[in-house]
Every structure is written in structure tokens, then in C-alpha cells.
Amino acid sequence: MKLCIVGITGLVGSELINVLNESALKIDDFIPAASEKSKGKSISLRGRNYTTVTPAEACDMKPDIAIFSAGSAVSKEWAPRFAEKGCFVIDNSSQWRMYNDVPLVVPEINADTISSETKIISNPNCSTIQMVLALSRLHLAFGIKRIVVSTYQSVSGTGVAAVKQLMNERDGIDGEKVYPYPIDMNCLPHGGSFLSNGYTTEEEKLVNETRKILRAPQIQVSATVVRVPVTGGHSESVNIEFEKPYEIADIYKLLNETPGVVVQDNPAENIYPMPLYAKGKNETFVGRIRRDDSIANGLNLWVVADNLRKGAATNAVQIAEWVGGKVM
């Protein structure tokens, strides 16, 4: 099996290498690809060194699976070209997510939407992945009517330049600014670009992607995205209103039974999820589980995951494992 990563030199590309080193995915040949300026760079995977090529060169090498983490413009141009050559493209950008004929996949929830004909498969937004994974079995059991989510998102979700801005500010260095304001010692209620309705593109993704993945266009979703001075993961305060009544014991049971979810919830011992301890882990952590007494069938959750892991690299590799084992 010939695997390609397009965008190997970015934050997600580097994390993909880490996840693949841990994965059992069979790889006979590996093709690292990036922009022209990174051509020739040496990349190590599973003890072997490979030379970085351009997307055009990678496409001509006809990989079986290509994971794209190079942004929407690159995906728009190159994903169809790879697909035309029979390659399964797993795209981390937002380019293809809302196309009706492109599966938007969290493998634990809807891997069944992938077939031999779906050559382009979309990886959801990082904040969407962790939320829908935590909610998937709860929705099947009780029917979600409405979600109100506020996110506390790591600067690593913006990219390596944002991490550098945070570190420069902490070290008193006047460097490149990715955000319109300082991020250290601050919170920015601004993720993505503002839309005409006052929401941002990051907030819009949470609405549309949640409905598509859960196959529930009727769910009402209200989102507020906040960028915080953290490098290790995204956190979310999630308020859910169910159609049906529930027992809190059933919530714990369903969450514990959800693959990829780890319940960390013991307030008496100060046990709850935190991005500091989610960093570098593949799981999604859920805690602060409590009934919302202000509405009928209301529930509050605190959901944390490493956005570069389950929010991007891990989810993409899990899709590749599914494709390699079930579809190819």
C-alpha cells in the first residue's frame, strides 16, 4: 500500500507522522509531499527516510491513499487529480465537507458512508469531531433537540505561526502577528472570518458539520468560538437539550461505551478533562457531567481533546485504516 501525505511540513503533517508511527496501518511505500520550497526535505517514518516531493510529483506516483493537510486551495486543486488516478483522498481542509457526495467522517460514528466509489473523504473540523463523538450515542438514545456550545480553542488550531505568536508574546519578543490582538493573557472571541450574520466561519462549521455527521438536519446548534492561550488542545462547554427524558446513570453508561471517549468525572477529587493532559493523546475526554435543571431534558458536558490528534491526524489515520481494511 502506497500512502501519501500532502502538507507534510505543517503542524498536522508532523502529527500525522507521530500517529502513523503508532498505527498498525500497512504501508509499503510512503510519499511525503509539500510545496516547492520544501521539496527535497528528508522525512522519517517508521525508521526509514523519505524525500519530500511536490503535489504534482506525488500525484504522478499514484498513491493508494493520500491524506491532505495543506489547506483548502491545495485540496481544491489537487484532490480531484489524485482521485482521478484511483487514489482515496482524505482531506483535512474545509474544502469538501459540505458536498453532498463527499462523506464527512468520524469513523466511530459513520464510517459506513465510505465506499469504493467515494474517492474524496472529508475530515471534519477539529472542534466538531470531539463534540459529535461525545454526543453520538446520546443522540441515538434520547434524540438531540438543541446544542449550545462554547469552545476554548488552542492556538495550534490556527497553525504554527499562531503558536509562535503566543510564545513570542510570553518571551517579550515583537514578532509576526496572526491574530488582531495579543493572545497571551487574553481570550479572543474570534475563530475564522466573520460572516454577515455576526457568526464566524468556525462557528458555522460546528452547526453544519454536526448535522451532517449525526444525520440530523433538524438539530438546532448555537456556537461561540473562543481562541485561548493554550497549545495542547480544544475544550468545549456543551449544553444539550434532548427530545426524551434520561437518567444520569444512562449518560455515564453510554459515554463509557462510546469508542474513543474517556470519562473523567469525579469533582470530589478534582478530576475533570483539561487540555494540558489531553495533549498527545488520541482520545476525547468528557467530564463535568450534570443535569441542566433550567430546561426539560437538559444536560451539560465538558469535552476536551488534542485538536492535532483526534481533531485532525488521528481521525484521518483512522479513516485510512478503514479504507485500507474495508474498502480497498
Tell me the catalytic residues: 126, 234
Taking CB atoms within 8 Å and a gap of at least 24, the contacts of 47-54 are 52/8, 52/9
Q: Per the structure block, which three cell numbers stand in for 248?
A: 444520569
Query: Distance between CA 229 and CA 59 in Å, rounded?
Result: 38
* Nearest Cα to Cα of residue 312 among 11, 4, 33: 11
What one-character DSSP code corresponds to residue 54? -
Residues with Cβ within 8 Å of 225's Cβ and at least 6 positions away in sequence, in order, are 127, 150, 151, 153, 189, 190, 191, 192, 200, 202, 203, 206
Query: Distance between CA 208 and CA 195 in Å, rounded?
Result: 14
Please report, in angstroms and rounded to a whole number, the separation of the first and last CA atoms in the chain.
10
For 263, phi then psi, to 5°, come to -85, 125
Query: Distance between CA 65 and CA 68 in Å, rounded?
Result: 10
Query: Distance between CA 65 and CA 49 in Å, rounded?
Result: 19
* Nearest Cα to Cα of residue 9 among 56, 71, 80: 71
